[in-house]
Each structure stands twice: as C-alpha cells, then as structure tokens.
Amino acid sequence: MSDSAPHLRLGTCDYPEHVPEDRWAAYARGQRELGLTFVRVAEFAWSRMEPRPGEYDWAWLDRAVEAYHAQGLRVVLCTPTATPPAWLIRAHPDILPHDAQGRVREFGSRRHYDFASPVFREHSRRITRALAERYGEHPAVAGWQTDNEFGCHGTARSYGGASAAAFPGWLRQKYGTLDALNEAWGNVFWSMEYGDWEEIRPPALTVTEPNPSHVLDYARFSSDLIRDFQAEQVALLRELSPGRFVTHNFMIFESGFDHYAVARGLDFVTWDNYPTGMLEFFAPPGVGEALKTRYARTGHPDLVGFNHDLYRGLLKGHGGWEAETGKTQPHTPGFWVMEQQCGQVNWAPANPLPADGAVGLWTAQAWAHGADVVSYFRWRAATMAQEVMHSGLLRHDETPDRGHAEVAGLDLGSFPLGEVPARVALLHDYESLWLYDQQPHSAALSYWAQTVAYYSALRSLGVDVDVVSADADLGGYAVAVAPAVTLVPPERAARWQAAVEGDGLRLVCGPRTAFRTPGGQTWAQGQFGRLSELVGARLLNYDSLRPGLEQAVGGGYAAQFWAESYRLAGAQATHRYQGGPLDGQPAVIRHGPVTVIGAHSEALIRDVLRDVLEQAGVATSDLPDGLRLSRRAGVTLVQNWTGENVAWGGRTLGPVSFEVRAEG
Ligand code: GAL
C-alpha cells in the first residue's frame, strides 16, 4: 500500500500551561518525531487566557502555538468554556448549576455552569469571539473543538437556578396552553394539573418518582439548551475562522442530551475513547464481574466498537449536513478520536495497566470503525491536581511510557481512509433512552444494556454495523435492528414502513418497541401503536424477571430480565414461551420482513439475527470469543482482544493483536 494514499493520522492532547515554557519546543519536537500531525490545546485554559475580567493574555498562547507551528504540527484550539474562572463565578454565582438534590455544584473542578444562564451565555460568546479573533486565521490552526465533553460528570441537566427559571417559557412555547400541557403529560393522574406556568419546576426532589412525561420534556429542554449553547460558539467560529473545521469531543455512552441535534452543524464528530475505564465505569448493568476481569486490560471490543459506530453515525443519514456546513468530505463524514487512552486512566474503581499491544489494537480498531484521526490523551502525565494518577505518552519524568513505544511502532500506511461498508443499521434514539431509563421496570435492562446486547450479537456474527438515528435514511441497508426504540411517533412508523415495503428492508425489533407516544404515555390501542399493521401483532403480556428468575422459551432458550408476548394479527410465532405465566404465548414473531424478539436471551437474539441476516444475503461468521472483524476501505481488520492465541482464517493471532488482511 502506498504511503502517500490518505491514511490514518495521529495527534495528542497537550497542556503547555501545565509545564514551564522551556519544555514547549522539546515537546513539539517529540510530537513530530513520533509522527503526530495534530495537537489539541487550551480547552481548560480560560484562567490563563483572561486572568482578570476583560484582561486577555494571549502572549503565552501565541508562543505555544508558534512552538507547534515551528514543528509543522496542526493545532486544534478549543473554546475554554468547560472551566469558567473563579473571578467570573464570584461575580456571577448564579452561573453555577444545581444537582438533582437541589444543591449548588460549586467552583473547584470543571463543568460548573448552567447552560441556561444568560450571563454565562454572554461570557461564552465573548471568550469565543476573543479567541477566534486572535487565532481564527493563524496558519497553524486546523480547526476548533467547542467546550469539552458536554454532559461529563452529570452536567447535561441543571435542576435549579437558570434552568429552572427558563423551563416554563420553553414549555409555553411548545404547548401554547396549560390545558395542552396537562393533557400531554396526563397530569390528572395524582392531581398534578397546573393552573399557572410558573408552578412548573424541574422534575427533581419529588416525593416519589416524577411523571415520566415531565422528565421527558425536561430532558428535551436541557438538550435544546446544549444545542443552542454550542450553536452560538459555532456561528462565531465560522465567521472568524473561515476554512477551519469545528467539532466537539463527545463522551462514552453519554445519555444526557440528543447527540444528533448537537452534532448537526459540526464538520465532523469526535469522541473520547477510554476502553479500560469504559468497562469498569460505564459498562451497562448486566456486564458481569467475570467479563470485566477477563477484559480488564483491553476493555471489551463491543463496548468500544459500539461507541465508535455510534459516533461515526451521528452525522450519517441526516439530510442537510452538507448544506449546513458547506462541506463535503472524501467519504461521508468520518470522525476522530479526540482523546485516546494510551496508558492507565484515573477515574474508574480500578485502573489496570493496559496489556502489551492494547494501544496499537485500540488505534487500529478506531481506524477500522471509521476514524480518520486518533489523538492520544495526553502528551505528558500531569504532575499536578486531579489527574496525577493518569498516564500519558510520556511519564511524569518525561521518559516515554509504554504507549509511546506502541504508537511509534504503528504502520500508518496500512490504515487507508475510506468507507465502512455496513449493510446493517442499528437504530438509536435518545428520547427512547430517557423514557427507558426513567422507568426501566427491570433494573438490569437499561436502554444501553439492551441496545449493546443486540449490537454485540451482530458483532459476534462478524457483521459491520452503522449505529444511526431511528429517523435516519435507511436506503441501502439490508437489515435495520431497533433493539430499544420505545418511542415511535407516527412519522417514524411511516418511514420504517416505507423502507420495509418500498425498499425491501428487513426490520428486527426488540421488546418494548413502539410502546410509547411522543408525550411519553402508552398508545391507547396498545403496543405497537401505528406500527401494529407492519408488525402484524399487538402486545399481550410483559414480564419483568429478577436476576436468577428465568422464563423458558422453546428451542432451549431462557429469557432473563424481560419477556413479553404477543397477540397475533397476521404475524407467525417462530418461538413460544414454555411454562410460567406466559406458557404457550408467542415470544418471537415474524410478519414477512419484520421480526420482533420479545424475550431477552443473548443466545436467542443471536440465533434470530443470524437467520434474518442470512435471509437478507448478509454473510455471517460465528466468531471465536474475543475475536472481532471490522472492514474499511476494502480491507479487513482481524482483532484478537484476548490474552490467548486465537486462530482465524487459517492463521493464528497472538494475544492482544491485530492484522490488516486483504480479504473482505
Ligand atoms: C476525559 C476528559 C479529559 C480528561 C480525561 C481523563 O473525560 O475530557 O479532560 O479528564 O477524561 O481520562
């Protein structure tokens, strides 16, 4: 493969403000010598950019940017709004957010602001403008990152202060009248009806659970705030920094806002990939201790792969991306990993050293799932403050750490850019997530747990998957899988129906699909609402199973956590429950190209999916445990995520290793 063909490029996150200036030139040189292209800087440097109100100090940042520029590195600059400085908070304490217990979240770490605060919005625009005026056209500046990890540390929603004050106005605009709101939320239940907009508070601190419709609208309202907050920065950056990209670094399994809405208007998406921390800290319920121990030094391939595919898909299948950004990409929008773990993290209950080979494997997997750039967090381990236990490419003493050697050994020319050829779409929806997790009904089966179970089944069958919005254009896919899309408004139902009936799409739905109305209630005619005809059935019973309580399904399967059954109206039952309260009732149904799996059983899900994929002409392979295949640009990345040798395709892969193979 020629080295000049476009291929994966690398970067790092660096913090010149954390080290003496006499280190800057050496760091930039070291970054270039390691083969890096990009350096992301300044996302938390507000107190150095503006040490006192209105007094900007750009001199240090000018020299830092010059140090990278002198080595030919491309700089990704960030708006520093994740860390409002102490003087700003002192002058305007009402910028601070409130937690769900109604307490003020204080200054002293980061992300201490309420997206609704008009004062903070003004300061966000002011610092963005000042920064973009200074560096917008600097030749070293390749592009911009807005803020840092929206929603991190549970900050997507504030439950008091500015958000509480703004919520009634948002509702008024949405509903027009209180009658409409009371109706939409079903407020007659428990006498929750409102007679004045100002009576409405955030859904927190209620005696028992708040009304799910109230929660759903609060999530929508908070999500809109993040979208609008970012849009103000994006507009300024586009005006003052023409030709540069604008992106945001999204977070592992972040649930607090609608990422599709927040990503629109960005040139491409980036996300922050910490595979071992993810397994320890963000793994959905149901991922047991044995699995966590087995994959402790690599993370689990499907948790990482799911996030890659989710973030690759944020801008996919949404009409209007080109028009909004005025851009086209060499291939439909790729993504970056803005922060890639390259040693141990500091924020999980246990933070094991990655296995030898893990940093290379993570980098290769990111590329194979569509990343155009992988940027390591961070250049040198911090010697101060909250993250001293976190590693970087360099140790505290500036000697190269283990990850550095792995990065140095990568053959970037073997990672060509190009399309990920997925023929399977996994449908995802944040509103469904909010409803699911507000009323899980079976604590072990959160939205992510159910969604990742289907994803993992697909990956274990060796197929590539696009995770896309439940409203994405489904043209070109052979199979769409909707594991947990519980909210299916009539327009969504119509779109799915057209794709199935018009384009020959096969659709597989998990339990609780189309159970909810857009207001968060249930359909008066029952599940599947407007989809009933397409599915050829209606819901009969649902059963929430405590851990250890199983419901048998014919064919030797056992449902865990959830079992629902159907009344057939055209569909056929392919599997029925055996024994227990659902004895004899349909557990899996098929209506032509539409299949619904009502029982949660990993083996059953995998077998049904294999069957549907084969019917759709999508080749499957039953992969050995810990082996994964990912295809991009006409080649296949074969990955061994285990600590043992694994044979595949006539060759053996060593522990924690990968190969790029020419076969599809
Ligand atoms: C990310 C964050 C970084 C750093 C990193 C440590 O979530 O964006 O600033 O804190 O985690 O792993």
Is residue 2 very low, low, confident or very high in pLDDT (cuts 50, 70, 90)? very low
For 601-632, the three-class secondary structure string (H helix, E strand, C coil) is CHHHHHHHHHHHHHHCCCCCCCCCCCEEEEEE
Instruction: Give me the active site residues, please.
Output: 149, 339
Q: Are 2 and 31 in contact (CB under 8 A)?
A: no
User: pLDDT tens across 274-295, in order?
Assistant: 999 999 999 888 788 999 999 9
- SS3 label, residue 487: strand
Q: Given a cut of 70, is residue 28 above it in pLDDT?
A: yes
User: pLDDT tens across 474-508, in order?
Assistant: 999 999 999 999 999 999 999 999 999 998 999 99
Residue 332's pLDDT is what? 54
Residue 333's pLDDT is what? 64
Residue 286 in tokens: 């149901």
As a whole number of angstroms, the distance between CA 398 and CA 410 comes to 21
Mean pLDDT confidence for 530-543: 97
As a whole number of angstroms, the distance between CA 380 and CA 345 comes to 13
As a whole number of angstroms, the distance between CA 640 and CA 229 comes to 42
> Which residue has tokens 């792995």?
406
Mean pLDDT confidence for 563-576: 98
Residue 329's pLDDT is what? 44
HSE value, Cβ hemisphere, 13 Å, CA-based, for 167? 26
As a whole number of angstroms, the distance between CA 42 and CA 26 comes to 18
Mean model confidence pLDDT for the chain: 95
What is the percent of the chain where pLDDT is above 90? 94
Residues near ligand 1 (Cβ within 6 A): 148-149, 152, 272, 274, 339, 345, 347, 377, 387, 390
In residues, how long is the chain? 664
Q: How far does the centroid of ligand 1 lie from the alpha carbon of residue 378, in Å?
A: 9
Residue 325's pLDDT is what? 52
Residue 349 in tokens: 């209950």
Residue 153 in tokens: 């540390």
Q: Binding site residues, as ranges?
A: 110, 148, 347
Q: Are 426 and 636 in contact (CB under 8 A)?
A: no
State the pairing for strand pair 537-544/572-578: unpaired
- Residue bearing the CA closest to ligand 1, atom 12: 345
Q: Are 440 and 545 in contact (CB under 8 A)?
A: no
User: pLDDT tens across 300-344, in order?
Assistant: 999 999 999 999 999 986 544 454 555 544 345 689 999 999 999
Q: Are 392 and 431 in contact (CB under 8 A)?
A: no
- Residue bearing the CA closest to ligand 1, atom 10: 387
Q: Binding site residues for substrate, as ranges?
A: 110, 148, 347
> Which residue has tokens 């290769």?
364
Q: Are 615 and 446 in contact (CB under 8 A)?
A: no
- SS3 label, residue 642: coil
Ligand 1, atom nearest to 277 Cα: 12
As a whole number of angstroms, the distance between CA 636 and CA 658 comes to 10
Q: How far does the centroid of ligand 1 lie from the alpha carbon of residue 377, in Å?
A: 8
> What stretches of 253-323 adopt beta strand conformation (E)?
269-273
State the pairing for strand pair 572-578/586-591: antiparallel
Instruction: Name the residue with higher pLDDT: 581 or 664.
Output: 581
Mean pLDDT confidence for 223-251: 97
Q: Given a cut of 90, is residue 664 above it in pLDDT?
A: no
C-alpha to C-alpha distances, 209 to 344, 362, 440, nearest whole angstrom: 38, 40, 12
Element (H, E) at 497: helix 490-503
Query: Hey, which of 41, 111, 149 would you mutate to test ligand 1's pocket, going by the most ligand atoms within 8 Å of its Cβ?
Result: 149
Residue 18's pLDDT is what? 98
Residue 343's pLDDT is what? 98
Single-letter residue type at 329: Q
Q: Given a cut of 60, is residue 228 above it in pLDDT?
A: yes
- SS3 label, residue 109: coil
Q: Is 645 exposed, middle or buried (0-12, 13-18, 19+ CB in 10 A)?
A: exposed
User: pLDDT tens across 250-269, in order?
Assistant: 999 999 999 999 999 899 99
- Residue bearing the CA closest to ligand 1, atom 6: 345
Q: Given a cut of 90, is residue 1 above it in pLDDT?
A: no
Q: Given a cut of 80, is residue 523 above it in pLDDT?
A: yes
Q: How far does the centroid of ligand 1 lie from the alpha carbon of residue 406, in Å?
A: 21
Q: Could you write out the DSSP letters of every residue in 263-310?
A: HTTSSSEEEEE-HHHIIIIIPPTT--HHHHHHTTTT--HHHHHHHHHH
As a whole number of angstroms, the distance between CA 373 and CA 13 comes to 13
Residue 99 CB contacts under 8 Å (≥ 6 apart), including other chains: 105, 154, 159
Mean pLDDT confidence for 230-249: 97
- Residue bearing the CA closest to ligand 1, atom 9: 148
Element (H, E) at 428: strand 424-428
User: pLDDT tens across 417-463, in order?
Assistant: 999 999 999 999 999 999 999 999 999 999 999 999 999 999 999 99
Q: How far does the centroid of ligand 1 lie from the alpha carbon of residue 149, in Å?
A: 8
Supply the DSSP symbol for 353. P
Domains recognised in the chain with CATH numbers: 9-81+121-154+244-414 (3.20.20.80), 424-615 (3.40.50.880), 632-662 (no CATH)
